[in-house]
């Protein structure tokens, strides 16, 4: 976190395989003008990612204009679940563009009708209302608003408590950051809402106590009475790990929410649409949420997000009073429908589940070679992470994570910048269309990069 990649071109070894090709110094000298323009005109916050100027991306590969090709283990940022630029998605977008309907606000459209109907069909029974938005942050903001509105409706104006989790991430807007628990990101929030609190997330690594009692004790310490809680929102797996909570914890949480009339909200912005080996990540816990927030992987391309829930909650606002300018934009809706159909019809969740053993087996093998600097290795389906730590201690090492990502970039394996509260996690999230062969090739490259980074720190 907070680091930027050097954009001085460096000689790197030539690479030529089925999935990767590196034939220029990196960053490619001819791309410098674009990189420099971006550095001049965009805020510094936009400089986090490896300096490859994307020209096109197809299936599991990203290309620049200068003959280089990367095996992509980022999916953008967990967006292209159905593969980059897949023909079905492109065709749907082109057909929609050619139809002449590019925007219609909240006026009805067939595209929106088809998409919300399809999404409701994918959701658990009873969750049959879908509100479309544009970004993940909007979806989580909307869930907070709905939960509180429902709380007030059922329990009066005291029932507005909202519980998030430490190290949780729900977006970068005001409500999303208040509900989230990322250290260092809240300094700008002046009037911190006392009714929005965070409790420890039971990841079993940074928080060793994974007992549900911890949830209740923590709420009590924060002065929030159970019956004042309107909603509890968690990432289905915490993106920083990725970390899943123990099943017993989540089942106890679901019971607790039911007993106290609080809505259980799963933020599936990352976990949804096959990423974890199931259509929805919460299926691993065997519970049913009251609200689902989704985004990213829904379209594998254009911006689209939303909230799914029961009519009782979703219908709280009267006609015209809960809207969004770009809700279900017809081009985005057509792209999402095509992406979802591909995920379902080609069983990409099944592919993620089948490849989990290969990916996790390979990553654990890398960890075993470096137990002193890879503190934790977690994952499910086709999302995984290596937490880099200072040699022999449980202290995050963002520099090592960054060094490994940079070395992989030079070798033709693309990650986004390390994530996590301290930037210590090397996150693995290839498109769900990836083959076993490409997973194995990526693992070999990653292993080599970790070996080198540990031997000769960058
Ligand atoms: N929730 C989760 C779990 C996320 O991972 C993200 C984005 N990384 C968001 C919400 C926010 O999504 P967006 O960037 O589209 O606002």
Q: Which atom of ligand 1 is nearest to the CA of 296?
A: 15
Q: What's the CA-to-centroid distance between 67 and ligand 1, angstroms?
A: 32
CA-only gyration radius of the chain, Å: 22
Q: What is the pTM of this model?
A: 0.97
Please say whether the dihedral angle defined by the alpha carbons of residues 385, 391, 395 and 399, taken in this order, is positive or negative. negative
Which pLDDT does position 422 carry in this prediction? 86
Please say whether the dihedral angle defined by the alpha carbons of residues 153, 259, 171 and 59, taken in this order, is positive or negative. negative
Which pLDDT does position 1 carry in this prediction? 60
Token pair in block for residue 60: 């599991």
What's the Cα-to-Cα distance from 256 to each of 66, 97, 212, rounded to whole Å?
A: 56, 48, 10
DSSP 396: B
Name which of 263, 268, 267 is nearest 313 in CA terms.
263
Name which of 204, 272, 188, 267 is nearest 231 in CA terms.
267
- Residue 403 and residue 458: Cα distance in Å, rounded? 6
What's the Cα-to-Cα distance from 60 to each of 119, 242, 245, 418, rounded to whole Å?
A: 25, 21, 29, 20
Name which of 348, 367, 308, 347 is nearest 132 in CA terms.
308
> Vertex 45, ends 39 and 49: CA angle to 5°?
75
Residue nearest to atom 13 of ligand 1 (CA): 136
Residue nearest to atom 10 of ligand 1 (CA): 170
Exposure letters 19-29 (e unless 16+ CB within 10 A, then b): bbbbebebbbe
Which pLDDT does position 420 carry in this prediction? 85
pLDDT along the chain (458 residues), means of 10: 89 98 98 98 96 98 98 98 98 98 98 98 98 98 98 97 97 96 89 95 94 97 96 96 96 98 98 98 98 98 98 98 97 98 98 98 98 97 97 94 98 95 93 98 98 86
Which pLDDT does position 185 carry in this prediction? 87
Q: What's the CA-to-centroid distance between 136 and ligand 1, angstroms?
A: 5
Residue nearest to atom 7 of ligand 1 (CA): 171
Which pLDDT does position 392 carry in this prediction? 87
Which pLDDT does position 2 carry in this prediction? 76
Q: Could you give the percent of the chain with pLDDT greater than 90?
A: 96
Q: Which atom of ligand 1 is nearest to the CA of 295?
A: 15
Residue nearest to atom 12 of ligand 1 (CA): 136
Q: Is 396 in the pocket of ligand 1 (CB under 6 A)?
A: no
Q: Is 270 in the pocket of ligand 1 (CB under 6 A)?
A: yes
Q: Which atom of ligand 1 is nearest to the CA of 135?
A: 15
Q: Is 171 in the pocket of ligand 1 (CB under 6 A)?
A: yes
Which pLDDT does position 376 carry in this prediction? 95
């Amino acid at each position: 976190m907070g680091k930027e990649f050097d954009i001085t071109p460096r000689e790197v070894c030539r690479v030529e395989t089925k999935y990767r090709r590196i034939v220029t110094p990196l960053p490619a000298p001819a791309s410098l003008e674009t990189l420099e323009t971006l550095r001049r005109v965009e805020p510094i916050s936009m400089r986090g990612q490896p300096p490859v100027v994307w020209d096109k991306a197809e299936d599991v590969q990203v290309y620049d204009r200068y003959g280089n090709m990367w095996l992509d283990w980022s999916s953008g940022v967990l967006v292209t679940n159905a593969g980059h630029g897949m023909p079905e998605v492109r065709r749907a977008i082109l057909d929609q563009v050619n139809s002449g309907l590019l925007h219609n606000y909240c006026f009805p459209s067939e595209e929106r009708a088809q998409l919300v109907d399809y999404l409701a069909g994918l959701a658990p029974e009873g969750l049959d209302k879908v509100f479309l938005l544009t970004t993940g942050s909007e979806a989580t903001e909307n869930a907070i608003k709905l939960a509180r509105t429902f709380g007030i409706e059922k329990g009066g104006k005291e029932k507005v408590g909202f519980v998030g989790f430490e190290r949780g991430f729900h977006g970068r807007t005001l409500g999303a950051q208040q509900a989230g628990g990322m250290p260092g990101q809240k300094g700008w929030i002046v009037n911190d809402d006392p009714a929005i609190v965070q409790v420890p997330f039971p990841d079993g690594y940074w928080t060793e106590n994974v007992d549900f009692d911890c949830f209740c004790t923590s709420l009590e310490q924060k002065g929030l009475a159970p019956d004042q809680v309107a909603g509890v929102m968690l990432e289905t797996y915490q993106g920083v790990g990725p970390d899943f909570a123990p099943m017993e914890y989540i089942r106890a949480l679901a019971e607790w929410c039911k007993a106290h009339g609080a809505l259980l909200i799963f933020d599936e912005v990352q976990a949804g649409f096959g990423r974890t080996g199931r259509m929805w990540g919460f299926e691993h816990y065997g519970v049913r949420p009251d609200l689902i927030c989704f985004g990213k992987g829904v379209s594998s391309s254009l911006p689209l997000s939303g909230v799914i829930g029961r009519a009782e909650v979703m219908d709280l606002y009267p006609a015209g009073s809960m809207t969004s300018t770009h809700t279900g934009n017809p081009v985005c809706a057509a792209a999402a429908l095509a992406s979802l159909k591909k995920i379902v019809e080609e069983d990409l969740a099944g592919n993620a589940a089948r490849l989990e053993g290969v990916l996790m087996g390979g990553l654990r093998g890398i960890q075993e070679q470096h137990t002193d600097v890879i503190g934790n290795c977690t994952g499910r389906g086709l999302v995984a992470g290596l937490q880099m730590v200072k040699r022999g201690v449980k202290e995050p090492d963002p520099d090592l994570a960054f060094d490994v990502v940079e070395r992989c970039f030079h070798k033709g394996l693309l990650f986004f910048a390390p994530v996590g509260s301290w930037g210590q996690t090397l996150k693995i999230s290839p498109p769900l269309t990836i083959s076993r062969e490409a997973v194995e090739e990526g693992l070999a490259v990653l292993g080599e990069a970790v070996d080198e980074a540990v031997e000769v720190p960058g």
